[in-house]
Chains A and B, each alone.
Chain A
Amino acid sequence: MKKITLAHGSGGTLMHDLIKDLFLKHLDNPFLNRLGDSALIDTRKKKIAYTTDSFVVNPIFFPGGDIGKLAVCGTVNDLAVCGARPQYLSCGMIVEEGFDYTDLEKITLSIKAACRQSGVNIVTGDFKVVEKGAADKIFINTSGVGEVFEKAHLSISRIRPGDKIIVSGPIGDHGAAVLLARGELKFRSRLLSDCAPLSGLISSIICRDIKFMRDPTRGGLATTLNEISLASGYNISIDESCIPVRGPVMALCEILGLDPLYMANEGRVILIVSSGSASRILSRMRRHTLGRASRIIGEVERRRTKRVYLKTMVGGARILDMLMGEQLPRIC
């Protein structure tokens, strides 16, 4: 089987062949094809969102996605939740010597598919190979820019008591799918990661009544809501019985003593919207494939102790804190 060697990253003919036969072949677009040291982008004085993210997921292939899809979706989603239409992405890869060529091709193809789905191009890139053991298989960094929609007025300072909190679908799928894919637990499940580009869903609903958006990735829903509460100063209360969680995710969490509220998501968005517009935005979200299971899960409260409260399904209540350390399995 063809392997990636240190020479593939050395700048010589092997590297040029790799760029031509793999990356340009699949990620072809006029910006990238120029192979300049930078991509030249005309922004015409528009407001631009700009972000970067690195991807080190283990395992690199998991049900519902792989590190390539994740690398595109992660950056696309960071742009989209800022009210931007993602357009141009950079992609830097660090690959461990001995990596399978076919795996690299699979990853490149899923980068291609995710780019197509979210309407972006990889316009510049970098490829490095390091000695065996100096990296774990493959790490990817992507940066992205996108034009901010004129209709977008997103700011945490616009959040007011009474605003509603919407989540775009079941939570915890990604965290649970990756955990299962590690194979240490010997459970079998058909659960897929929720990894998906949110740009389509968001561009279909973007309007002034949306005050803030964030994608609840690491740390999950609970941590994201705590960040919002801390930054806005207002308490937030959510209703456990309204939060969508799939059966397999719930079951896995019950067995391992984990909490789905802290599990990572890669294709979900949390919205804070004015209370009057909530049902209208919700019904628009439900028209989009990625927003079918959207729910209003709670609201912003008047009190300003910067806490997030969970109304439990049996009618009790508790503070929902940020994630502390890693989620660890309990013993009894």
Chain B
Amino acid sequence: MKYIDEFRDNKIAKHLSRAIFDRARPLKSVNLMEVCGTHTMSICKFGIRRLLPENINLISGPGCPVCVTPKAYIDTAVEFSRLPGIIVGTFGDMMRVPGSYSSLTEERSKGRSVKVVYSALDAVEIAEKNPGKKCVFLGIGFETTSPTVAASLLYAKKKRLKNFFVYPGHKVIMPAMKALVEDGEVNIHGFLCPAHVSAIIGTIPYGIITEKYKIPCVIAGFEPIDILQGILMLVGQIGSKHSKVENQYKRVVKRSGNKKALDLMARVFSVEDSEWRGIGMIPKSGLTLSKAYARFNARNAFSLPHIKTRPDKGCICGSVLKGVNTPLDCRLFGRTCTPEKPIGACMVSSEGTCAAYYQMRP
């Protein structure tokens, strides 16, 4: 193995594309949802839609952490940055997400201390190096990121850090997938399930989707060959009227997932109801800090002024996230809402459906 080139091989891609065309020919219109934002981005980056027949629609799901983080969370993060003696640590994607009145980028340009970090442990390091200040880390993301945040909290506890806090906004993916299916508004024929989230949670949780709702699930990697093969497997299941959980990403994803990471999460987090931007409240779909770690919870540690969150006018990010509409149905898309001046969250993150569609415009 040289690098990842093998999973970007032109000949294999063409071969898979032809096989998809063949298998999809007898089918009517097929809606496949790629749940994860990294899939959305990879599909866009490698121009994969051009390798698929017209009767296969790829719908982008709710798996972009930045996109589903509610506006109220951004507003609160902005308020944190305005408190004296606070350093806000965040993943880069969150910087430009517009809140009701401001964004973290805007606050940083006004001189507030907002630092982009590559991991939660970097934020802990900031706290250690600045004992006179308090570091609030914005904990967002799915099961891929939450174990790393859990590890940073474990470390902070061991080191007895008094100035490191996490503002928990973590989400778990399964309740959202179930909510989408039960919503009934969307007609999904197959799920392309996330690669890295599945590396943590394993393949078993998807069973409910295939058994109860009879929708095929294929876990696929993020490289173009992975995605094409995943789509081929889904089309195969749909054609033969099967619904089972298949794992294309065997080189990383194991049936029982990553036990160490799951244990770590169970120690540090507890499940709570959570709001998803554009979708609304989903029961038991979020993670907050467990009792043993409650003192690290930024929500408890600081008192903030009451902020009235302003709803997005005319933005249809919600129905885009559910896959009910495509960005092309939005009257803001490409006119007032562009990656340069985003209105909805789906345009901000490069993983967002709107940003991905913007790259595909004619």
Where the two chains meet, the residues of A that have a C-beta atom closer than 8 Å to any C-beta of B are 184-185, 241, 247, 250-251, 254, 256-257, 305, 310-319, 321, 324-325, 328-332
Known: A247-B3, A315-B13, A324-B340. A332 touches B37 (CB 8 A): yes
Chain B residues lying within 8 Å of A313, measured Cβ to Cβ, are 8, 10, 46
Interface residues of B in 1-55 (CB under 8 A from A): 3-4, 8-10, 13-14, 17, 37-38, 41, 44-51
State which of B91-99, B127-135, B182-190, B299-307 sits at the interface with chain A.
B91-99
Chain A residues lying within 8 Å of B92, measured Cβ to Cβ, are 328-331
Closest to A251 in B: B3
- Rounded to whole angstroms, the CA-CA distance of A148 and B358 in the bound complex is 41
Chain A residues lying within 8 Å of B8, measured Cβ to Cβ, are 313-314
B14, B41, B339, B349: which contacts A315 (Cβ < 8 A)?
A: B14
23 contacts between A and B (CB under 8 A): A185-B118, A251-B3, A256-B118, A311-B47, A314-B10, A314-B13, A314-B46, A314-B47, A314-B224, A314-B225, A315-B17, A316-B46, A318-B45, A318-B46, A318-B359, A318-B360, A321-B359, A329-B93, A330-B41, A330-B91, A331-B66, A332-B38, A332-B65
Distance between A302 CB and nearest chain B CB, rounded to angstroms: 16
Known: A250-B3, A318-B360, A324-B340. A331 touches B48 (CB 8 A): no
Residue B204 at the chain A interface, CB threshold 8 Å = no
A185, A317, A318, A331: which contacts B65 (Cβ < 8 A)?
A: A331
| Majority DSSP secondary structure for residues of A touching B | loop
- Rounded to whole angstroms, the CA-CA distance of A332 and B42 in the bound complex is 12
Interface size class, chain B: 35 or more
Chain B residues lying within 8 Å of A305, measured Cβ to Cβ, are 362
State which of B74-82, B141-149, B242-250 sits at the interface with chain A.
B141-149
Chain B residues lying within 8 Å of A251, measured Cβ to Cβ, are 3
B50 and A331 contact, CB distance less than 8 A: no
Residue B260 at the chain A interface, CB threshold 8 Å = no
A319 and B141 contact, CB distance less than 8 A: no
> Per-position contact with A for B118-161: 1 when CB-CB < 8 Å, else 0?
10000000000000000000001110110000000000000000
Residue B351 at the chain A interface, CB threshold 8 Å = yes
Chain B residues lying within 8 Å of A250, measured Cβ to Cβ, are 3
Known: A312-B45, A314-B224, A315-B10. A328 touches B360 (CB 8 A): no
Residue B288 at the chain A interface, CB threshold 8 Å = no
Known: A332-B38, A332-B141. A316 touches B49 (CB 8 A): yes
B95 and A328 contact, CB distance less than 8 A: yes
A316 and B10 contact, CB distance less than 8 A: no
Chain A residues lying within 8 Å of B48, measured Cβ to Cβ, are 314, 316
- Rounded to whole angstroms, the CA-CA distance of A312 and B339 in the bound complex is 22
A241, A254, A312, A332: which contacts B47 (Cβ < 8 A)?
A: A312
Known: A312-B45, A316-B50. A329 touches B118 (CB 8 A): yes
Most buried by B among A305, A319, A332: A332
A316 and B361 contact, CB distance less than 8 A: no
